Structure 1
Amino acid sequence: MPRAARFILVPVGSAGDVHPYVGLGRVLRDRGHEVFVLTNAHFKPLIRRSGLHFVEIGTEDDYDRFTRDPDLWHPRRGLLLVPRRGGLEPARAVHDAVARLHRPGATVVAASALAFGARLAHETLGLPLATIHLQPFAFPSLLRPPRPPFLAWTVRLPYPFRRLAYGVTHRLADRLFRVEIDTLRTELGLQPLQTSVLDWLHSPQCVIGLFPDWFAPPQSDWPDGSRLTGFPLFDESPLTPVEPEVVRFLDDGPLPLVFTAGSAMRHAARFFDVSAQICRRLRRRGLFLTGHPEQLPASQPPDVLHASYVPFSLLLPRCALLVHHGGIGTTSQALAAGVPQLVVPRAFDQPDNAERLIRLGVGDALGPRRYTPARGARVIEQLLNDPAMSGRCADVASRIRPGLDETCDLLESLIGTDRKQSRDRLPVRDRTQTGEEAEVRTSKRKKNRE
């Protein structure tokens, strides 16, 4: 059994991004380790209730301003906003907090790729670092690229054109973020970056994907040391009981449709208005989940209930279908519950997750503008009336194995590897390279040397 150590967890984002780290922290705590979670003050109550140490990175007001910004959910502007607000601006605070908590030889950091401060601490302190990717979208690949929230047609381009687009993306990221990262590096006594920003984000020691390989098969051009475990499937069910009003609603009638636009979404008035009209058209009961009730329509059907939060592991097995934004946490919980899904994706990984559900045959997707009462009702009816849907959903649910224990095993394997630093590599499964894969590897090594 590994000796007790101190684990520092650094999520970046909303509840869907923080929950997996809380789940990891609880398992590590139960194994006898000391666990600190560095994140925004908005999540302090959850982390304290989970029995973990909390370190504040950003205030509640910061989180409120961030989630109110309409650019957050813009397909292009959101991809620029989140790395800056969530990665660059708090980078020095994260680095310094990790430095204060660091115990040489007995500390491991597990962090989002956007936690730039954790990546810097890996270099300045030489402590072990695992980069945690919650979704396949975070893994760059030329061989099987994830679907971007815009310019989706680029994934169908021939390989040489995909390679050109890949290079443009890297150069754009360098132009946007490299100067500020190098400024921080200089302040911390580090040399300027010797590789592209997008390559540097991944720990050279360990990269863990929290999803199964059947959801996104590993590619040989993923970062070295990449390992997949499984969906974390942690929600607040051990901490937050279902409200009595919700229990009565679930008990008193047919399985409802459930609608959510995500915990951080504060610009979903149209989504909920359309959803209310869909419930009327289909004469179905509905449950609207949002912590921001000002988004709800003034007049709702009598058989529609609003709740601020219900743990999905307790709710979804008792619903007929889930309509949601496509976040990976919501997606995986619905897969585990075996219910069909209609995704209304906006940004980030959401379109990519939606496409993977379609490939599995367990859901469909409509863009925000195409999500209308008539079209939404028609697609929902098709999903509910598909005679093979329940079988496909049940088959996928049977393949899911929670990945928290395996992930914690990998994190524990990093204890005491400080001196090896970035030269250490976790073993990578053997893979046969095609000619195209070999070219990707050669190009990657050449770019790193440059």
Structure 2
Amino acid sequence: MHIVLPTIGSAGDVIPVIGLGVALKARGHRVTVLTSPYFQALIERAGLDLVPVGTVEDFKKGLENPDIWHPIKGLQVITREAVLPSMRIMYEYLTTLNPKETLLAASGMSFGARLAQEKLGFRLVTVHLQPTLFMSAYDNSEMGGVKMPDWLPIGFQEWRVKELERWFVDPLIAPAVNAFRAELGLPPASRLFGRWMHSPHRVLGLFPDWFAAPQPDWPQNLFLPGFVDYQPEDAPLTPEMETFLARGEAPIIFTPGSAMKHGDQFFRAALAASQKLGKRAIFLTRFREQLPKLPEGFLHVTWVQLGRLLPHAAALVYHGGIGTMAQALKAGIPQLIVPFAHDQPDNANRLKTLGIAERLNPGQFTARRVVEKLNWLLNDPLVRARCAGYAEKVDFAKATDEACQWIETA
């Protein structure tokens, strides 16, 4: 079977898809990933085929826009720069394949795959990494920087979700999608996020039910295998990192995310907080220009497999991206989350409910507040015990195997 994996996003979105692809290839399938060529080296090193969607320059252009991290404008930027431009590219590639010999396992925003399922008859599994994409009235996720009180009646929440789609999501996305649908001879679609983008064949959520339990208004053909990961064997810690880790106590890891180019204030506050705590730290970012001058006891790392680094860390301070979050859960370390946009606020709220994380919004991220939050996270024995408990629940290999089975049998 030829299995095609279309996906959109940053490293935290692409790496779990690579993990699925590697596992599916090991089970005897031919696997092709459709995504930005920004990830070409990583994908090809994993032994998978890549069909590029857009250019490296397109991806970098999106990173330059600070609005991508705005709680409301972020969706607009991603839609304009990635989701809609990729739709036609993905669809046109899929027209070259035989639907009887091909299976699609696509991220929800890979609209070209959903259109190919509808028009050309491909079998499609929609793969969601984040529960917030289900836009549930029962789950009451934080969306656009707003979380409604949990005590509001379900009827009101249902109205709110529909109005959000009617007045914000559909006007942003539906004109382009429906124009393309018209070209294909398909009728207009609505409620694109809440209903349409979920495949009628099968939907996977790559997270466990203890993180986000299925709700009555989630797709009824949904399965939750758990968190999926990819850790290549040829990507160990560098000698510099090994030496740093060996020279002192476990450091705190600070990162605003692999795609964040506007983290100057984040790192300044992180440096000041670490010094006040008397803690060593590793600052993880591809963009060195964001960093202040680092004194002794601090290390800048451009890129690392988090699964290898986080077990050596005291805590993780980060943006709340789902891929990074899964690695921190597996490492059994406390988390301080600074959510900017997209699924990050909802992820932060869920971890805080589990009692293993704290949250500071970007405007609250000062050295004083970071010290307060980390002092509690690092020193509370209940937090430590809960972190260890949830680490035992994360089984990447089992979840990957189960996800592959659900994909193969769709």
TM-score range, shorter chain: over 0.9
Aligned ranges for residues 44-55 of structure 1 at < 5 Å? 44-55=40-51
Greater relative contact order (CA < 8 Å, ≥ 6 in sequence): 1
Aligned 8 A contact 1:149 1:352 in 2: no
Residue 16 of structure 1 is aligned with which of 12, 15, 29? 12
Aligned equivalent of 1:420: none
Query: Distance between the aligned counterparts of 2:117 and 2:383, measured in 1?
Result: 46
Aligned equivalent of 2:233: 238
- CA deviations on 1:323-369 (whole Å, 9 max, x unpaired) are 01000111111011100000011111111111111111111111111
**What one-letter code is carried by the residue in structure 2 that aligns with 1:330?**
T
Query: Distance between the aligned counterparts of 1:129 and 1:156, measured in 2?
Result: 37
Aligned 8 A contact 1:11 1:18 in 2: yes
Aligned equivalent of 1:324: 318
Aligned ranges for residues 241-252 of structure 1 at < 5 Å? 241-252=236-247
Residue 136 of structure 1 is aligned with which of 112, 117, 131? 131
Aligned 8 A contact 1:108 1:128 in 2: yes
Change (3 A) 1:239 1:95: farther
Aligned equivalent of 1:226: 222
**What one-letter code is carried by the residue in structure 1 that aligns with 2:339?**
P
Residue 152 of structure 2 is aligned with which of 133, 157, 162? 157
Pairwise CA distance, 1:154: 5.3
Q: Does 1:412 align with 2:408?
A: yes
Query: Distance between the aligned counterparts of 2:68 and 2:295, measured in 1?
Result: 30
Aligned 8 A contact 1:146 1:155 in 2: no
Aligned 8 A contact 1:149 1:350 in 2: no
SS at match of 1:36: strand
Aligned 8 A contact 1:114 1:201 in 2: yes
**What one-letter code is carried by the residue in structure 2 that aligns with 1:315?**
L
Pairwise CA distance, 1:388: 1.8
Query: Distance between the aligned counterparts of 1:10 and 1:405, measured in 2?
Result: 19
**What one-letter code is carried by the residue in structure 1 that aligns with 2:363?**
R
Aligned equivalent of 2:204: 208
Aligned equivalent of 1:292: 287
Query: Distance between the aligned counterparts of 1:161 and 1:176, measured in 2?
Result: 23
Query: Distance between the aligned counterparts of 1:157 and 1:227, measured in 2?
Result: 28
Pairwise CA distance, 1:98: 1.5
Aligned 8 A contact 1:149 1:346 in 2: no
**What one-letter code is carried by the residue in structure 2 that aligns with 1:373?**
A
Aligned equivalent of 2:340: 346
Pairwise CA distance, 1:162: 1.3
SS at match of 1:359: helix
Aligned equivalent of 2:367: 373
Aligned 8 A contact 2:319 2:339 in 1: yes
Change (3 A) 1:391 1:70: same
SS at match of 1:89: helix
Aligned equivalent of 2:303: 309
Q: Does 1:145 align with 2:140?
A: yes
Pairwise CA distance, 1:155: 4.9
Aligned 8 A contact 1:204 1:225 in 2: yes
Query: Distance between the aligned counterparts of 2:170 and 2:151, measured in 1?
Result: 25
Aligned ranges for residues 114-129 of structure 1 at < 5 Å? 114-129=109-124
Is the radius of gyration larger for structure 1 or structure 2? 1
What stretches of structure 2 of length at least 5 have no aligned partner? none
Query: Distance between the aligned counterparts of 2:124 and 2:390, measured in 1?
Result: 32
Aligned residue pair count: 406
Pairwise CA distance, 1:192: 2.3
Q: Does 1:184 align with 2:160?
A: no
Query: Distance between the aligned counterparts of 2:171 and 2:381, measured in 1?
Result: 51
Aligned 8 A contact 1:95 1:120 in 2: yes
SS at match of 1:394: helix
**What one-letter code is carried by the residue in structure 1 that aligns with 2:192?**
V
Aligned ranges for residues 375-394 of structure 1 at < 5 Å? 375-394=369-388
What percentage of aligned pairs have identical amino acids? 43
SS at match of 1:90: helix
Query: Distance between the aligned counterparts of 1:278 and 1:120, measured in 2?
Result: 49
Pairwise CA distance, 1:103: 2.3
Query: Distance between the aligned counterparts of 2:219 and 2:134, measured in 1?
Result: 8
Pairwise CA distance, 1:316: 0.7
SS at match of 1:152: coil
**What one-letter code is carried by the residue in structure 2 that aligns with 1:86?**
A
Aligned 8 A contact 1:287 1:307 in 2: yes
Pairwise CA distance, 1:278: 0.9
Pairwise CA distance, 1:238: 2.3
Q: Does 1:77 align with 2:73?
A: yes
Pairwise CA distance, 1:311: 0.9
Normalising to structure 2: TM-score of the pair?
Answer: 0.96
Query: Distance between the aligned counterparts of 1:227 and 1:220, measured in 2?
Result: 14
Query: Distance between the aligned counterparts of 2:157 and 2:340, measured in 1?
Result: 23
Pairwise CA distance, 1:149: 4.1
- CA deviations on 1:279-336 (whole Å, 9 max, x unpaired) are 1111110000001111111x22211000011111111110101101000111111011
Query: Distance between the aligned counterparts of 1:120 and 1:163, measured in 2?
Result: 27
What stretches of structure 1 of length at least 5 have no aligned partner? 415-450
Aligned equivalent of 2:273: 278
Aligned equivalent of 1:428: none
Query: Distance between the aligned counterparts of 2:343 and 2:351, measured in 1?
Result: 13
Aligned 8 A contact 2:58 2:81 in 1: no
Query: Distance between the aligned counterparts of 1:197 and 1:321, measured in 2?
Result: 38
**What one-letter code is carried by the residue in structure 1 that aligns with 2:275?**
R
Root-mean-square deviation over aligned CA pairs = 1.3
Normalising to structure 1: TM-score of the pair?
Answer: 0.88
Query: Distance between the aligned counterparts of 1:93 and 1:233, measured in 2?
Result: 27
Pairwise CA distance, 1:233: 2.6
Change (3 A) 1:184 1:272: same
